[in-house]
Amino acid sequence: MPDAQQPSPKAPAYRWLVFGLLAAAYFMVYFHRTSPAVVALDMMADLKAGGALMGLLASAYFYPYALMQLPAGLLSDSWGPRRSISLFFLLAGLASLLFGRVSSVGGAIGARILVGLGVSMLFVPTLKVLTNWFKKTEFAFMTGLLMVIGGLGALSAAGPLAFLSGRLGWRGSFTAIGLVTLALAGAIWVLVRNTPAEKGLPPLVEEGPDKSGGSQGFGLLEGVLLVLKRWRFWSLAVWFLLGPSIFFAFGGLWGGPYLSQVYGLSRTQAGQVLSLLAVGLILGSPFWSHLSDRVLRSRKRCIVISAGVTLLVTLPLAFFPAGLNLNLLYLLCFLLGAFGSAIVVIGFTAAKELFPLDLAGTSVGLVNLFPFLGGALLQVLVGVVLERSGGPQGVFSAQAYGNGFKIFFFSALLALAASLLVQETLAGKKPSP
């Protein structure tokens, strides 16, 4: 029997297997999230859906995902992360298979809701597993690595999905996605363990004194109320609602049709442009962490800078939708990924630091509702504006897209205003509840 105080030589290798499977699942979460953008026109033609219905269909993923972020922690604690992830990912895989076979918009919306529900139970339980398999000094790096792999999932939902859909069609593509999701659910159930002890390995031994004492033990309802009644939480929440949500609305749905109908790009070409959203997300996550921790020594300044750049990105989309060259479109997508999405790493850190440790999980879970609700809302609103701007069903002019993207511009403007009210959490002393 291995010494309980010494790490087993098997533990380092096995924890990377655990992380690899969970990271592969998170890859699929982002893939599911942004996949409609590339095949949106094919879906609209096949399902005979207009802009408003298409916006509702794509946004159906976000509502259950957002609403499940807080219960995710409770289910992870009661069922265990491995069981929670496996069962919900099984649902996501089956729902993706269903999505590839639906014949009506209503059926597609229902399937998309089930996909969102299924993948919602991944991020929070995965963090719980990582706390058991990796040391505290490794946790920030592993979380950042997880975000990078999620960005790779978004990248694959652009160009590679465009290629796949060109071979299999949009229905065949979602069937293939469903099969991969089911395979991951099975692999996680068989191979992942919540703790090293469940694998017969010694637990991690942290160096230094235990700083977990002094817990005030807030109940769920009490913790939620303590977070919600603080105005400093709401300035951050409003920024999340109106800023990072633009990435989801453009990259997750309307970017693909815009590039195809205004600039005449093929599905593959549009996917290549949209892939810069994911590149920005991948490179932006470590950039913001370094800038916040080592250079600016500030959370708020990073959030304000990102909000300002996001506003500048939406300006040409809203007011000059047909006057951009291809290189500028690539640049705008990269900037939207790096400044409009990757910045959430700092946003979540600020939400955690706003409150004592006992409320950190509650505050992060609550603030994580807002970008998904915002993304769902913006997808629908842009679809409504496009449809009201006229044109044949599913075909919109540059002016129509400009009208729709003005919603992005004013959302970014309000997000910038909210960012100016965000409280600095790094330089000063943490506030009490």
Cβ contacts of 110 within 8 Å, gap of 6 or more: 60, 102
Task: Please state, in angstroms and rounded to a whole number, the distance separating the CA atoms of residues 179 and 385.
Answer: 36
Confidence check: pLDDT of 257 > 70: yes
Task: Provide the pLDDT for residue 136.
Answer: 62
CA 106 – CA 185 distance, rounded (Å): 27
**In angstroms, what CA-CA distances link 65 with 60, 71, 74, 186, 390?**
9, 11, 15, 21, 32
Least confident piece of the model among 207-211, 359-363, 370-374, 388-392 = 207-211
Q: What is the distance between the alpha carbons of residues 365 and 379, in angstroms, rounded to a whole number?
A: 22
The answer to whether 408 and 318 have CB atoms below 8 angstroms apart is: yes
Cβ(389)–Cβ(403) below 8 Å = yes
DSSP 8-state symbol, 207: -
How does residue 268 score in pLDDT terms, banded at 50, 70 and 90?
Answer: confident
Residues 6+ apart with CB under 8 A from 378: 245, 246, 248, 249, 407, 408, 411
Domains and CATH numbers, the chain: 11-199 (1.20.1250.20), 218-427 (1.20.1250.20)
HSE on the CB side for 295, CA within 13 Å? 9
Model confidence, pTM: 0.75
- pLDDT score at 209: 39
* Residue 204, pLDDT score: 66
For all residues of the chain together, what is the average pLDDT?
A: 84
pLDDT digits (tens, 9 = 90+) for 41-96: 788 888 887 777 777 777 788 888 888 877 776 677 668 889 989 999 999 999 99
Q: Which two tokens stand for residue 400?
A: 């129509």
285-316: buried (b, 16+ CB within 10 Å) or exposed (e) per residue? Answer: bbbbbebbbeebebbbbbbbbbbbbbbebbbb
Q: Give the percent of the chain with pLDDT over 90.
A: 38
273: CB partners within 8 A, 6+ apart: 255, 259, 265, 326, 329, 330, 333
The alpha carbon dihedral of 348, 350, 351, 353 has a sign of positive
For residue range 303-331, list pLDDT tens digits in order.
999 999 999 999 999 999 999 999 999 99
> Which tens digits make up the pLDDT trace of 22-51?
999 999 998 888 787 777 778 888 888 777
- CA 407 vs. chain centroid, Å, equals 21
Q: List all residues 6 or more positions away from 105 whose beta carbon is below 8 Å from its beta carbon.
A: 47, 48, 49, 53, 57
- Mean pLDDT value across residues 187-204: 86
Query: For the residues of 125-166, what is the DSSP string, one character each?
Result: HHHHHHHHHS-HHHHHHHHHHHHHHHHHHHHHTTHHHHHHHH
pLDDT tens, position by position, 199-244: 888 776 554 434 444 445 556 667 778 888 888 899 999 999 999 9
